[in-house]
């Protein structure tokens, strides 16, 4: 029997870093009712189950059909043959997603006259594939309860999708954006009305007008400390607060910080029937501002048609479409929101395709609905208010050949109705390379299988990922199960994907060279780091192949469409470096933020507990026995690591008591003597050359800590350090008695007397210490170091969860975001196969915490001008083709003839082939390129670096240059 979720379970680790313990506990107590287990329903069920609710009821009255196979990944032909209910058929697969969630099934029909009291046991109700009249009745029932039951309805009709939320008359949001507030260091607060607050060194505060901040550690104007004030931004490094002119506020002296405080706020919702007449819509595409409202009008007309005719409009039926248009025109007249004109094209497209179902929209909307369920249950993040519409109009084909869109009684009927059989066949023949099989990769593989990508003999999907599956992956990489842990992601994902579509994609192990890229139609990135993305971007650019890049961080995600010669590349937009190296002096002596103390503790841990022991072990494995080492030393042979080894041998510990004594001495060294040395070198009254105090923001003066055997944090440091030392030296100890023995041993420990050090203290921030290479360590082992150092410098301490996230550089992740992003990527993939013009594609940026889904046309390829007549983009490459007799002189002349440029130097890698200013190089001009480049018969082309001058003698930059033998 499932119990309340254990928030320490690694199954939820990435999600917990994003949502926090409180939200995870709320989820573990909540129950959700989900009606409709078609494609959209199963997507929502997957995401909600992975999130970790207490219970999920799957409700459906429909049986599985061939049509479902195009979107419902937990149904198969056997379910159809046996005439199984969709919810019952999906139950086992959904239950296996998360052992903490109780999943049950209901097949009992209900309608507008039914007793809805059975819904009282749930905190959120989600309806899909439901009649509009029933949606209205259920919504009214849910909002009439105290407290209200959150209500969500969502559907996908053809190339259009819709989401509606109603969380009651007043829904409280406790965290409107999910951002981790950063401490802002201050340099001045004026005595004005209003007072102007300025950050240090012009550092950006990142606040917006209306935010609230709390002040700490201000000297002089101490009345501000612990106050919360609302701010008005006046510049990136200044903002105003309250009136500080009264005697209550002293004059600002120095120091101080502030941090943004999240103030809970309420969101008011209206019921569905009201919202249909004056819809409140989240904008998604500012280039088409009227589409969302027009789509909702068309949706309402579609439901009205269905109520009247007891069926949906027939596929590509002009008369039915005209009926829907007439209904839409009458709806406009009755709306409170004024609509100048009906967009007949939108209504027609919805009527023509409504019997179909565009799978990428199903995946996208399933992710967004899943996120709204989480918001409703946890009050964390801002909900959608109240409509969200997504469409892929650009894929609509107005072809007169209706036969291309008619069903053929197979699993692709839903997709065929939307985009036509031609595109379905192109998808089946696609040769796709997907890099990464993690969270986005799993979702993409499922989408690819459902849309029939690479299912014909001509198609091929190649997937690659060097990682193995870990338990923490299971929360968002839904293709994997417990049995897959420590197995290859690439192999397991391919196997599971074939179950979704038995004709599905295969894997291929190959060297991903240029010849491999030339066989591809498109590349999809599902990577989690910038450098790998840039590498793949470079490979696609050099081979002129389309690339779809995507990524997520917590509730945020992006999709970038990269098309040869048409759009900018990934590398054209350099990402901001968020892993800046902390100055060495800051780490060692002048920490100002908790991140500095965490990095210091991590460095200490890895140096003493990881690198030194590994150096010791490696030394003995290389150099053998002690007598061999002595012989080498007598021969004056250099032995790397011998100093570290000698020190470790000299200071070797032999007992558990030794470990405790060393831990106690380290406490004194790190948290007492170090502070005293700093204060001896720089007293509190020390000043700089300009007369300002040395200890002013961002520098914090340390306060020596006095060891207290009754202080829990002090004892925890001794215990954890002693245990680590014991592990390093292979010493045994009784875990139950370990802590009990500490007070007596530390009382008997001789503490070195403090002596003033003459060692120079680095204060120059330009001196930097590169971050130690990441090593997999147990972060809990040095959390006590972090907080003790923070206490010494008066920095606010943080809990274990935040310490682990910062120290491990852990990127928060959640299934809802990855599902949404993967759906958006799949939509753009189908557009590439459809060969749309540039204005038909959409980049995307989402932040489901705000909430924001922003679509925009990809940026055009950046052009670099060589002269008034010639320019190039990142996609361009100058190809020079010659035969066996092609000379260097002909090579140089080629550029004069084509671009009026003079080649002054030619290099192949680091080898100089030709340099005009070098004596004797003129003779090379008569030699063949094959001889100069020493080309073997198997090598057909090489990349060259060529320097040019224009007609004025100025150096110019050009695209990459490739020389090929014909």
Tell me the three state secondary structure of residue 455.
Answer: coil
Within a 10 A sphere around the Cβ of 18, how many other Cβ atoms? 23
State how far the Cα of 887 lies from the Cα of 883, in Å rounded to an integer: 9
Per the CB < 8 A criterion, the answer to whether 672 and 707 are in contact is yes
CA nearest 330: which of 359, 353, 301, 308?
301
The helix (H) or strand (E) run that includes residue 366 is helix 359-378
State how far the Cα of 947 lies from the Cα of 918, in Å rounded to an integer: 14
Tell me the three state secondary structure of residue 875.
Answer: coil
Tell me the three state secondary structure of residue 854.
Answer: strand
Per the CB < 8 A criterion, the answer to whether 757 and 699 are in contact is no
Strand boundaries in 84-145, DSSP class E: 102-106, 124-128
Tell me the three state secondary structure of residue 864.
Answer: strand
Rounded to the nearest 10°, the torsion over CA 758, 764, 765, 767 is: -80
Within a 10 A sphere around the Cβ of 800, how many other Cβ atoms? 14
Tell me the three state secondary structure of residue 873.
Answer: coil
Within a 10 A sphere around the Cβ of 30, how many other Cβ atoms? 23
Cis peptide before 947 (omega within 30 of 0): no
Could you tell me which residues come within 8 angstroms of residue 871 by beta carbon, excluding any fewer than 6 positions away? Answer: 863, 864, 865
Query: How is residue 798 written in tokens?
Result: 């943080």
Eight-class DSSP state of 203: -
CA nearest 747: which of 797, 783, 708?
708
In degrees, rounded to 5, the angle at the alpha carbon of residue 616 between the alpha carbons of residues 612 and 618 is 115
Largest CA distance in the chain: 101
Per the CB < 8 A criterion, the answer to whether 235 and 203 are in contact is no
Quick one: CA dihedral 183, 184, 186, 189, positive or negative? negative
Buried b (16+ CB within 10 A) or exposed e, 269-294: bbbbebbbeebebbebbeeeeebbbb
Tell me the three state secondary structure of residue 67.
Answer: helix
State how far the Cα of 170 lies from the Cα of 791, in Å rounded to an integer: 41
The length of the chain, given as a count of residues: 966
| In 394-488, alpha helices (H) | 413-419, 421-428, 439-450
Residues annotated as part of the active site: 585
CA nearest 862: which of 525, 574, 481, 432?
574
Query: How is residue 665 written in tokens?
Result: 């001495």
Tell me the three state secondary structure of residue 220.
Answer: coil
State how far the Cα of 750 lies from the Cα of 120, in Å rounded to an integer: 67
- Give the CA distances from residue 503 to residues 73, 411, 428, 449, 500, in Å, rounded to whole numbers and listed in that order: 14, 12, 10, 8, 9
CA nearest 804: which of 844, 777, 823?
777
Three-state DSSP string of 242-304: CCCCCCCCCCCCECCEEEEECCCEEECCCCHHHHHHCCCECCCCCCCCCHHHHHHHHHHHHHH
Quick one: CA dihedral 290, 292, 295, 296, positive or negative? negative
Query: How is residue 381 written in tokens?
Result: 């993040």
In angstroms and rounded to an integer, the radius of gyration of the C-alpha atoms of the chain is 33
Could you tell me which residues come within 8 angstroms of residue 303 by beta carbon, excluding any fewer than 6 positions away? Answer: 131, 132
């Amino acid at each position: 029997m499932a119990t309340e979720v254990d928030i320490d379970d690694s199954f939820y680790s990435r999600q917990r870093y994003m949502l926090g313990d409180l939200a995870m506990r709320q989820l573990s107590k909540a129950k959700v009712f989900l009606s409709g287990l078609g494609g959209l329903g199963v997507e929502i069920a997957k995401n909600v189950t992975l999130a970790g609710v207490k219970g999920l009821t799957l409700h459906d009255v429909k049986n599985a059909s061939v049509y479902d196979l195009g979107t419902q990944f937990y149904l198969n032909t056997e379910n159809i043959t046996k005439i199984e209910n969709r919810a019952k058929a999906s139950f086992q697969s959904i239950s296996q997603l998360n052992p903490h969630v109780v999943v049950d099934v209901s097949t009992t029909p209900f309608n507008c006259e039914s007793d809805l009291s059975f819904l009282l046991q749930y905190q959120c109700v989600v309806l899909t594939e439901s009649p509009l009249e029933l949606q209205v009745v259920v919504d009214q029932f849910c909002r009439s309860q105290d407290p209200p039951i959150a209500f969500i309805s969502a559907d996908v009709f053809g190339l259009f999708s819709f989401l509606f939320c109603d969380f009651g008359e007043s829904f409280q949001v406790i965290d409107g954006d999910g951002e981790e507030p950063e401490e802002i260091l201050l340099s001045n607060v004026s005595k004005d009305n209003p007072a102007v607050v300025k950050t240090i060194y012009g550092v950006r505060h990142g606040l917006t007008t209306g935010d609230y901040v709390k002040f700490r550690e201000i000297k002089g104007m101490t009345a501000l400390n612990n106050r919360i004030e609302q701010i008005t931004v006046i510049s990136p490094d200044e903002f105003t607060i309250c009136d500080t002119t009264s005697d209550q506020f002293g004059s600002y002296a120095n120091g101080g910080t502030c941090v943004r405080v999240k103030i809970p706020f309420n969101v008011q919702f209206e019921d569905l029937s009201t919202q249909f007449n004056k819809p409140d819509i989240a904008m998604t595409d500012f280039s088409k501002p009227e589409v969302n409202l027009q789509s909702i009008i068309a949706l309402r007309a579609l439901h009205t048609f269905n109520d009247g005719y007891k069926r949906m409009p027939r596929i590509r039926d002009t008369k039915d479409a005209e009926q829907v248009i007439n209904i839409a025109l009458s709806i406009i007249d009755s709306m409170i929101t004024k609509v100048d004109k009906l967009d007949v094209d939108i209504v027609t497209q919805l009527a023509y395709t409504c019997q179909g179902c565009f799978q990428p929209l199903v995946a996208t909307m399933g992710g967004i609905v899943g996120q709204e369920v989480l918001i409703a249950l946890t009050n964390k993040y801002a909900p959608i208010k109240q409509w969200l519409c997504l469409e892929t109009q650009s894929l609509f084909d107005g072809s007169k050949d209706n036969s291309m869109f008619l069903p053929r009684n197979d699993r692709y009927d839903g997709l065929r109705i939307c985009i036509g059989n031609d595109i379905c066949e192109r998808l089946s023949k696609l040769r796709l390379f997907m890099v990464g099989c993690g969270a986005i990769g799993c979702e993409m593989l499922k989408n690819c299988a459902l849309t029939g990508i690479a299912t014909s003999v001509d198609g091929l999907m190649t997937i690659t990922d060097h990682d193995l599956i870990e338990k923490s992956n299971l929360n968002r990489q839904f293709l994997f199960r417990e049995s897959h842990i420590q197995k290859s992601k690439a192999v397991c994902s391919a196997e599971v994907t074939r179950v979704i579509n038995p004709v599905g994609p295969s894997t291929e192990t190959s060297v991903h060279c240029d010849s491999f890229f030339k066989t591809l139609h498109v590349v999809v990135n599902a990577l989690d780091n910038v450098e790998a993305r840039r590498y793949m971007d470079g490979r696609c650019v050099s081979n002129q192949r389309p690339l779809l890049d995507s990524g997520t961080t917590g509730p945020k995600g992006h999709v970038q469409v990269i098309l040869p010669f048409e759009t900018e590349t990934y590398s054209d937009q350099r990402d901001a470096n968020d892993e800046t190296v902390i100055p060495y002096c800051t780490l060692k002596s002048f920490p100002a933020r908790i991140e500095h103390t965490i990095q210091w503790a991590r460095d200490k841990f890895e140096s003493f507990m990881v690198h030194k022991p590994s150096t010791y072990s490696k030394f003995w494995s290389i150099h053998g026995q002690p007598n061999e080492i002595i012989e080498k030393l007598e021969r004056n042979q250099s032995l790397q690591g011998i100093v570290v080894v000698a020190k470790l041998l000299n200071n070797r510990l032999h007992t558990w008591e030794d470990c405790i004594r060393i831990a106690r001495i380290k406490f004194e060294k790190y948290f007492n003597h170090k502070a005293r040395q700093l204060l001896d070198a720089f007293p509190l009254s020390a000043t700089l050359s300009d007369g300002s105090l040395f200890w002013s923001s961002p520098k914090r003066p340390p306060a020596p800590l006095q060891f207290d055997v009754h202080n829990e944090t002090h004892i925890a440091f001794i215990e954890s350090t002693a245990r680590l030392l014991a592990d390093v030296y292979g010493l045994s100890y009784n875990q139950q008695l370990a802590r009990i023995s500490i007070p007596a041993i530390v009382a008997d420990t001789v503490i070195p007397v403090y002596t003033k050090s003459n060692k120079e203290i680095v204060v120059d921030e330009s001196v930097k210490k590169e971050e130690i290479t990441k090593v997999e360590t147990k972060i809990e082992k040095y959390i006590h170091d972090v907080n003790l150092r923070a206490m010494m410098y008066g920095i606010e301490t943080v809990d274990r969860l935040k310490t682990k996230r910062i120290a491990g550089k852990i990127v928060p992740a959640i299934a809802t975001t990855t599902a949404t992003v993967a759906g958006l990527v799949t939509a753009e993939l189908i557009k590439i196969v459809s060969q749309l013009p540039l204005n038909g594609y959409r980049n995307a940026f989402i932040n489901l915490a705000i909430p924001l889904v922003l679509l925009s046309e990809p940026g055009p390829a950046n052009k670099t001008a060589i002269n008034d007549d010639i320019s190039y983009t990142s996609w361009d490459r100058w190809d020079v083709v010659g035969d066996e007799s092609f000379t260097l002189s002909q090579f140089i002349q080629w550029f004069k003839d084509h671009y009026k440029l003079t080649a002054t130097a030619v290099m192949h890698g680091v080898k100089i082939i030709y340099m005009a200013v070098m004596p004797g190089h003129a003779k090379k001009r008569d030699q063949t390129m094959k001889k100069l480049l020493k080309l073997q018969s198997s090598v057909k082309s090489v990349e060259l670096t060529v320097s040019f001058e224009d007609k004025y003698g100025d150096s110019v930059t050009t695209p990459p240059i490739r020389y090929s033998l014909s």
